[in-house]
Amino acid sequence: MEINLKNEINPVYFQLLSNINRYEVLYGGGGSGKSYFTAQKQLIRIITEKGHKILVVRKIARTIRGSCYALLRDVILSWGIYHKFEFNKTEMSIKFKANGNEIVTAGMDDPEKIKSIHGITSIWVEEATELRKEDFMQLDIRLRGQTKHHKQIMLTFNPVSSQNWLYKHFFSNPSTDIKNKSTVLKTTYKDNMKLDAEYAGVLESLAEQDENYYNVYALGLWGQLAELIYKPFPIINNYPKFFTDTFYGLDFGFVNPTALIRIDRRENEFYLTESLYQTRLTNTELIQKLKDLEISKNHPIYADAAEPQRIQEIHNAGFMVLPADKSVKDGIDHVKRQKIYSNPNNTNINNEVLGYAYRKDKDGNILEEPIKFKDHTMDAIRYGIHTHLKYVTEFAEQNPDNMDFDNLIKLSDAFMELKYRFLKEEASENEIDEKIIKELQLSKANYDKLKKYIKKTYEY
């Protein structure tokens, strides 16, 4: 097995292959390659050193699949040695066949699993700012005992806030012991020889949007508290069992994550659940994900209206997907007025809301525009809540006899299917109306309301 490491590894990180300090802290801007290098280093160690069980950790276990686990597999594929490993996709573990070394994964949301993993020889903590100091201390305690090779905890993160415990622990006021056992390296996108030009342009454009975001994600400097758009959503462990209705907000992405947020409404309260947050999803893959999630065809999905073709494809696959109202200012104002709750498993929601801030001009004046960076769940939430409530309000105003709105949206897909069926039969417009009224058992008045709603929503 011959891998030319000098061609594979960014030069700025090469020196760290021989670093044996207990703590290796890699921080800095977005796109700097720090996580990719960390994946490379873990694989080099299990290939070249015997007796390893390396633990990969994030705050929430399910977020590992689309981040660390995907990175490790990408590196193995790029090296052309996929056949030399065994992959357990369910447990998200990787074994090197030649010596039995393993990389295992766990989330801090499952402390019992962490406790059950014995013989850990090193740890990688991805997005370390997500963890509490107590979480880190538990991991540090777990890394003990005699091992053939050095034990090491690698931490990778963006320095989002100088209020985070990591700043004091490793930077501003480290103990003598921590200082002596730590190697700290700051990198930025300029250190990544493999970064694509498009993403570099996104990072550089932050200079014109917000100084704090530019400092953190482009320059890799510690961030300061910003003018946040929303107050952090209260985080609760247990949601109510019953809701008034359920709907979704969908923000399309590819290089950026596609974010799908389930929103359960109970009167004037909204409860958020991250259903999907993943990069590089084609529309075909997204549709399969929606099927795997068993999303009800009666639950509307309010999607980014800038992607009408993608919306149509998802609708053709049987989902009630509707174009969202994209008014940013009105949408933000609408969301601000609601009672919204999150839960500890919503890692991306809980992180993004803490950085979702208004832009500032060169003189420091706050503009009524959010910074367009790390806002994918925020957009999805706005699409869902603002559009759904807008439809509900407009419908109530236009329907004095109070035909139920939830029943109306449930009937819309049935209407479209019947419409297409009868069109194929070459029925006249009047015949189609009569057939649909009969099939759906609607009064003429309610049928007219249904047609009006569908015409506005689908623009058919």
pLDDT at 170: 97
Residues 254 and 213 in one domain: no
Q: Which residues in the chain come in under a pLDDT of 50?
A: 396, 400-402, 459-460
Same domain, 366 and 411: no
Is 397 a domain residue?
A: no
**To 5 degrees, how large is the angle CA 242–CA 243–CA 249?**
135
Query: Among the three residues 322, 353, 384, which one is the final residue of a domain in this structure?
Result: 384
- Quote the pLDDT of residue 460: 44
Domain count, the chain: 3
Where is the domain boundary, 218, 253, 276?
Answer: 218
**Do residues 272 and 348 both lie within one domain?**
yes
Q: Is 229 domain-assigned? A: no
Task: Report the alpha-carbon distance of residue 203 to residue 208 in Å, rounded.
Answer: 10
Residues 267 and 359 in one domain: yes
Q: Is residue 223 part of a domain?
A: no
Do 58 and 150 share a domain, yes or no? yes
Last residue of a domain, one of 183, 218, 253: 218
The residues, ordered by sequence, that sit 6+ positions from 98 with a Cβ below 8 Å of its Cβ are: 47, 84
Query: Distance (Å, rounded) from C-alpha 274 to C-alpha 348?
Result: 8
Residues 125 and 196 in one domain: yes
Query: What's the confidence (pLDDT) of residue 419?
Result: 79
Distance of alpha carbon 380 from alpha carbon 169, whole angstroms: 35
239: left (phi over 0), alpha (psi -120 to 50) or beta: beta
pLDDT at 203: 94
Residue 128 gets which letter from DSSP? G
Q: What is the CATH number of the domain that holds 104?
A: 3.40.50.300
pLDDT, position 266: 85
Q: What is the DSSP string of 134-171?
A: HHHHHHHHHS-S--SS--EEEEEE----TTSHHIIIII
- Dist CA 92 CA 60 (whole Å): 13
Are residue 412 and residue 371 in the same domain, yes or no?
no
Task: Tell me if 223 sits within 8 A of 160, measured CB to CB.
Answer: yes
pLDDT of residue 395: 53
Is residue 351 included in any domain, yes or no? yes
Q: Do 33 and 102 lie in a common domain?
A: yes
Is residue 272 domain-shared with residue 313, that is, in the same domain?
A: yes
| Torsion from C-alpha of 263, 269, 271, 272, nearest 10 degrees | 60
Model pLDDT, residue 269: 93
Structural domain contains residue 421: yes
196 and 92 belong to one structural domain: yes
Task: Examine the domain organization and report whether 17 and 156 are in the same domain.
Answer: yes
State which residues form the domain around 301.
Answer: 245-384
Q: What sign has the CA pseudo-torsion 111, 113, 119, 124?
A: negative
Closest CA to 429 of 410, 437, 315: 437
Q: Are residues 182 and 111 in the same domain?
A: yes
pLDDT at 270: 97
Q: Has residue 227 been placed in a domain?
A: no
| Model confidence pLDDT, tens digit, residues 254-294 | 989 999 999 999 878 999 999 999 998 999 999 999 999 99
Residue 376 belongs to a domain: yes
